[in-house]
């Protein structure tokens, strides 16, 4: 490994929503980057790319990490369902452990794992989630991330920094957040007005700032870091702010949450309804104090950037 800081930063999952943005940010800063991709993906020109398909425990990690100074592990294979769930969890943990062992053997000084707030649970009642709490994953994804944390910590110790973000939004976002933007943009009346909750979110640029801090800051060694944007919002307030960013009216009407849960269950969408109806609050004071990090992009500005990207995508 290069001791002068000139070695490459390895980014697994570099073709994903977070990975592409991270690679671009690192390249803009002049950092040498080696991007590990599942399939060919257009990335900034100075970036070294390796197209490898799915990564696993049998991947030649020592060769991929040769000459590196740091690793950011973002990659995850497609989530297997039903009877394959345990195999998927075991596979994710084994891959993470193999990477961490190779990093330790190579003398790589910092490994950053992108975990998830889901390691601590899916919802909060009175108190926000804090990093020191015992893990309490409520679903397969959260359990897999916890297993990855544990196996990597055992393999590379204080070289590891763990980041547990809540829902991440920003240009390029997919899945539920993009679906919410699409619903608000459509003008369809939404039954959210009666929802009384609080959700922590994090804008993509704020997350990237913390990843880069975790790569560089001495105090990040061995730490577990939560983060969020400065503001927390309810589901109806989020929909209103998205509508404002889109230049559209927010068309919300009240519906009893219990009825929404029943309807969602009948449609096979109970998990999605839980995310809309429940609270998930994050306390990131420990991260701010230990690393001197704070979100530099406000919620409204992040939503504006995300909605501009969405309108451009729609032509």
Catalytic residue among 17, 61, 141, 203: 141
Q: Is 141 a catalytic residue?
A: yes
Q: What is the DSSP string of the chain?
A: --TTS-SEEEEETTTSHHHHHHHHHHHHTT--EEEEESS-----TT-EEEE-SS--TTS-HHHHTTTEEEEEE--------GGGHHHHHHHHHHHHHHHHHHHHHHT-SEEEEE--GGGS-S-BSSSPB-TTSPP---SHHHHHHHHHHHHHHHHHGGGEEEEE--EEESTT--HHHHHHHHHHHHT--BTTTT----B-EEEHHHHHHHHHHHHH-GGGTT-EEE---S--B-HHHHHHHHHHHHT----B----HHHHHHHHHHTT-HHHHHHHHSBB-B--HHHHHHH-----S-HHHHHHHHHHHHHHHT-
What Rg value do the Cα atoms of the chain yield, rounded?
20
Classify burial at 84, counting beta carbons within 10 Å of its beta carbon; exposed 0-12, middle 13-18, buried 19 or more: exposed
Tell me which residues are annotated as active site: 141
């Amino acid at each position: 490994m290069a001791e002068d800081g000139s070695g490459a930063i390895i980014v697994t999952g570099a073709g994903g929503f977070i990975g592409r943005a991270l690679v671009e940010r690192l390249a803009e800063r002049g950092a040498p980057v080696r991007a590990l991709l599942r399939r060919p993906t257009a990335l900034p020109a100075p970036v070294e790319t390796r197209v490898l398909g799915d990564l696993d425990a049998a991947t030649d990690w020592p060769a991929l990490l040769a000459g590196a100074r740091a690793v950011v592990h973002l990659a995850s294979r497609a989530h297997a369902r039903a009877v394959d769930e345990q195999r998927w969890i075991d596979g994710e943990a084994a891959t993470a452990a193999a990477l961490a062992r190779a990093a330790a053997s190579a003398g790589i000084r910092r490994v950053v794992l992108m975990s998830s707030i889901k390691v601590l649970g899916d919802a909060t009642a009175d108190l926000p989630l804090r990093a020191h709490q015992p893990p309490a994953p409520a679903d397969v994804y959260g359990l897999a991330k916890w297993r990855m944390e544990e196996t990597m910590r055992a393999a590379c110790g204080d070289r590891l920094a763990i980041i547990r973000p809540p829902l991440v939004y920003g240009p390029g976002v997919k899945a539920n957040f993009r679906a919410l933007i699409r619903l608000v943009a459509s003008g369809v009346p939404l039954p959210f007005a009666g929802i009384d909750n609080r959700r922590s979110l994090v804008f993509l640029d704020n997350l990237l700032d913390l990843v880069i801090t975790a790569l560089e800051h001495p105090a990040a060694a061995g730490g577990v870091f939560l983060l969020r944007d400065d503001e927390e919002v309810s589901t109806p307030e989020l929909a209103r702010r998205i509508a404002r960013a889109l230049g559209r009216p927010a068309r919300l009407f009240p519906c009893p949450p219990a009825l929404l849960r029943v309807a969602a269950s009948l449609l096979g969408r109970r998990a999605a309804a839980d995310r809309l109806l429940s609270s998930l609050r994050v306390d990131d004071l420990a991260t701010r104090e230990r690393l001197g990090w704070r979100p530099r992009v406000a919620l409204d500005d992040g939503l504006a950037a995300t909605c501009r990207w969405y309108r451009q995508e729609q032509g």
